[in-house]
Amino acid sequence: MSTSSAARTYQIRTYGCQMNVHDSERLAGMLEDAGYVRAGEEESTPDVVVFNTCAVRENADNRLYGTLGHMRPAKDRHPGMQIAVGGCLAQKDRDAIVKRAPWVDVVFGTHNLGSLPTLLERARHNQEAEVEILESLEVFPSTLPARRESAYSGWVSVSVGCNNTCTFCIVPSLRGKEKDRRPGEVLAEVQALVSEGVLEVTLLGQNVNAYGVEFGDRYAFGKLLRSCGEVEGLERVRFTSPHPRDFTDDVIAAMAETPNVCPQLHMPLQSGSDRVLKAMRRSYRSERYLNIVRKVREAMPDAAITTDIIVGFPGETEEDFEATLEVVRQARFSSAFTFQYSKRPGTPAAEMPDQLPKEVVQERYDRLVALQNEISWEENKKLVGRTVELLVAEGEGRKDTETHRLTGRARDGRLVHFTPTGAIDREIRPGDVVHTAVTRAAPHHLVADTDISAHRRTVAGDHWEAGMRPKTSGVSLGLPSFGAPPSQPAAQQGCGC
């Protein structure tokens, strides 16, 4: 524990999707602006522990309350310690959290991240729990300061919230209706990150290709991708997650024609059965989905396409499940995030008849995973012998008795473990860029056990070596967060949605 004369320390524990990871960077930035210091890994009892929660999966509640129970002895031993709970589960459970875990000091929702430092101070002063849950967004999170986790890669939010009504999803009721940032604000944040040495940004939203709905431009996302292509020094652009309903041909063209937009697409399928898709209110059908896949591959033959799939949705028959397997066979995803259906209170699907037995769902899930692993391995084998460009990732990579390897991401998002030998004049650091040839494939990664052919040291690598992380104070161009859109600048993927 820190002493009363020292800066108070904090730790943030994040659960859930990329949006939560990005929100945690904002929470860290605000705490540090308020004078808190990040707790070291060796510190067992930080002054403040923040749980940024997810409510998508069925066991999210049990996981949180179980963890809070384990925290109580530490809190009893250190009365000055504070525990805060935020995120989607906090938005859902509200006052119930302090009723079930009265040792929690602060509960805040998805719409008021910026209140955390004030709520902590108020709880400390009043010596009682503070619960503040707003019903709508008042300040766009991207105007808040952030402590970025990576020296070379950053999330950039283009929108928050979702206008869809999928019957299995609780997110819209917790994150609210979609709110779009103005293109100029998004690009200003991208430019700020690049000026700090960041090489790669991921444009983030619950449904990124619906971007522009607030200011009446259905082609806004494609324009935004092209504008990112004009940011000097930005080497890689990714986005997640698009919805098949809103996927337009101009986005495919922008991906194919903008050199720094990566040949990678994560597009949730959820089910290959048209009957189940209708029950899910997914507003597209399997042929529409496969047509998008075909168009993407025509424009970018080497694109890696990944997806989300739910197994065991209420009423799913064996015929429905076989339809999903058939779409998987045709789409040939490089990988898939597969989920067993999870009943969430408050969603229409939770009240549907014909909830499937656990053993049926498990058996189907195992068959889907086996099929996708087979396809992933076959697709990865096609890359053996090819030279790939890797952005070196943090961590030591894979070790075994014979070889020490580092890890990097190829432009298509694939994970590659490589040997750091060959054309190297100095140490390879996270954030550096290397070129190497793939020698072996596995279902979930590639291996490059040959000398690298090129190594480029980067500013991002310099920052990593110096222990620096981009620390932004929030991006605003003096524009209102919401309301009438300004003129667009001349220059112009999740929760498994």
Kindly report, residue by residue over 182-226, the tens digit of the pLDDT. 999 999 999 999 999 999 999 998 899 999 988 889 999 999 999
In the chain, the amino acid numbered 208 is: V
Residue 3 has a pLDDT of 41
Closest to 339 (Cα-Cα) out of 377, 382, 310, 319: 310
**Residue in the structure block whose two tokens are 């014979």:** 402
Neighbouring residues of 41: CB distance < 8 A, sequence distance ≥ 6: none
Residue at a domain's end among 381, 407, 441: 381
Residue 61 has a pLDDT of 76
The percent of residues above 90 in pLDDT, for the chain, comes to 65
pLDDT value at 480 more than 70: no
Q: How many residues comprise the chain?
A: 497
Average pLDDT, stretch 246-274? 97
Residue 395 has a pLDDT of 67
Q: From residue 235, how far is each of 197, 215, 316, 432 by CA, in Å?
A: 11, 29, 43, 12
Average pLDDT across the chain, whole number: 88
Residue 425 has a pLDDT of 74
Residue 458 in any domain: the answer is yes
Residue 229 has a pLDDT of 97
Q: How far apart are CA 7 and CA 16, in angstroms?
A: 29
Assess whether 167 and 195 both reside in one domain: yes
Assess whether 175 and 304 both reside in one domain: yes
Q: How far apart are CA 184 and CA 181, in angstroms?
A: 8
Give the three-class secondary structure for 425: coil
Residue 58 has a pLDDT of 64
Residue at a domain's end among 76, 108, 132: 132
For residue 150, cis peptide bond before it (omega within 30 degrees of 0): no
Which phi-psi region, left, alpha or beta, contains residue 484 (left: φ > 0; alpha: ψ -120 to 50)?
beta
Confidence of residue 472 (pLDDT cuts 50, 70, 90): low
Q: From residue 4, how far is each of 71, 76, 106, 193, 275 by CA, in Å?
A: 22, 18, 20, 35, 61
pLDDT value at 92 more than 90: no
Residue 17 has a pLDDT of 76
Assess whether 64 and 171 both reside in one domain: no
Q: CB–CB of 456/433 below 8 Å?
A: yes
Assess whether 411 and 461 both reside in one domain: yes
Neighbouring residues of 459: CB distance < 8 A, sequence distance ≥ 6: 197, 431
Q: How far apart are CA 359 and CA 264, in angstroms?
A: 34
Q: How far apart are CA 340 and CA 369, in angstroms?
A: 11
Average pLDDT, stretch 292-298? 98
pLDDT value at 478 more than 70: no
Residue 494 in any domain: the answer is no
What is the side-by-side strand order in the sheet with 106-108?
A: 37-38, 9-14, 48-53, 82-87, 106-108, 130-132
Residue 228 has a pLDDT of 98
Q: CB–CB of 436/448 below 8 Å?
A: yes
The percent of residues above 70 in pLDDT, for the chain, comes to 90
Q: From residue 394, how far is each of 408, 437, 461 by CA, in Å?
A: 8, 20, 10
Confidence of residue 469 (pLDDT cuts 50, 70, 90): low
Average pLDDT, stretch 344-354? 90
Confidence of residue 1 (pLDDT cuts 50, 70, 90): very low
Residue 295 in any domain: the answer is yes
Residue at a domain's end among 333, 365, 381: 381
Residue 187 in any domain: the answer is yes
Q: Is 495 annotated as a binding residue?
A: no
Give the three-class secondary structure for 61: helix
**Residue in the structure block whose two tokens are 């040959």:** 450
Assess whether 125 and 250 both reside in one domain: no
Residue 40 has a pLDDT of 84
Assess whether 201 and 118 both reside in one domain: no
pLDDT value at 122 more than 50: yes
Q: Give the domain extent around 16.
A: 9-132
Residue 351 in any domain: the answer is yes
Assess whether 48 and 124 both reside in one domain: yes
Q: Is 497 annotated as a binding residue?
A: no
Question: Residue 102: which CATH number?
Answer: 3.40.50.12160
Q: Is 262 annotated as a binding residue?
A: no
pLDDT value at 474 more than 60: no
DSSP letter for 103, please: T
Q: pTM higher than 0.85 for the full model?
A: no
Confidence of residue 497 (pLDDT cuts 50, 70, 90): low
Assess whether 115 and 221 both reside in one domain: no
Q: What total number of domains does the chain contain?
A: 3
Confidence of residue 20 (pLDDT cuts 50, 70, 90): confident
pLDDT value at 235 more than 70: yes
DSSP string computed for 239-275: EE---GGG--HHHHHHHHH-TTB-SEEE---B-S-HH
Q: How far apart are CA 206 and CA 208, in angstroms?
A: 6
Higher pLDDT, 239 or 137: 239
Confidence of residue 398 (pLDDT cuts 50, 70, 90): low
Residue 478 in any domain: the answer is no
Residue 1 in any domain: the answer is no
Confidence of residue 334 (pLDDT cuts 50, 70, 90): very high
pLDDT value at 476 more than 50: no
Q: From residue 440, how far is each of 304, 391, 395, 417, 437 by CA, in Å?
A: 18, 19, 21, 10, 9
Q: CB–CB of 4/21 below 8 Å?
A: no
Give the three-class secondary structure for 117: helix
Question: Residue 200: which CATH number?
Answer: 3.80.30.20
Q: How far apart are CA 277 and CA 92, in angstroms?
A: 26
Assess whether 145 and 73 both reside in one domain: no
**Residue in the structure block whose two tokens are 């009446």:** 216
Higher pLDDT, 176 or 242: 242
pLDDT value at 396 more than 60: no
Assess whether 161 and 249 both reside in one domain: yes
Confidence of residue 434 (pLDDT cuts 50, 70, 90): very high
pLDDT value at 401 more than 50: no
Q: CB–CB of 228/187 below 8 Å?
A: yes
Highest mean pLDDT out of 11-25, 110-124, 436-450: 436-450
DSSP string computed for 194-221: HHTT--EEEEE-TTGGGTTTTTT-TTHH
Average pLDDT, stretch 93-111? 91
Q: CB–CB of 55/344 below 8 Å?
A: yes
Q: Is 166 annotated as a binding residue?
A: yes
Average pLDDT, stretch 66-73? 91
Q: Give the count of alpha carbons within 13 A of 333, CB side only.
A: 26
Residue 4 in any domain: the answer is no
Give the three-class secondary structure for 422: strand
Assess whether 208 and 322 both reside in one domain: yes
Residue 491 has a pLDDT of 29
Average pLDDT, stretch 110-119? 89
pLDDT value at 18 more than 90: no
Q: CB–CB of 84/107 below 8 Å?
A: yes
Assess whether 163 and 241 both reside in one domain: yes
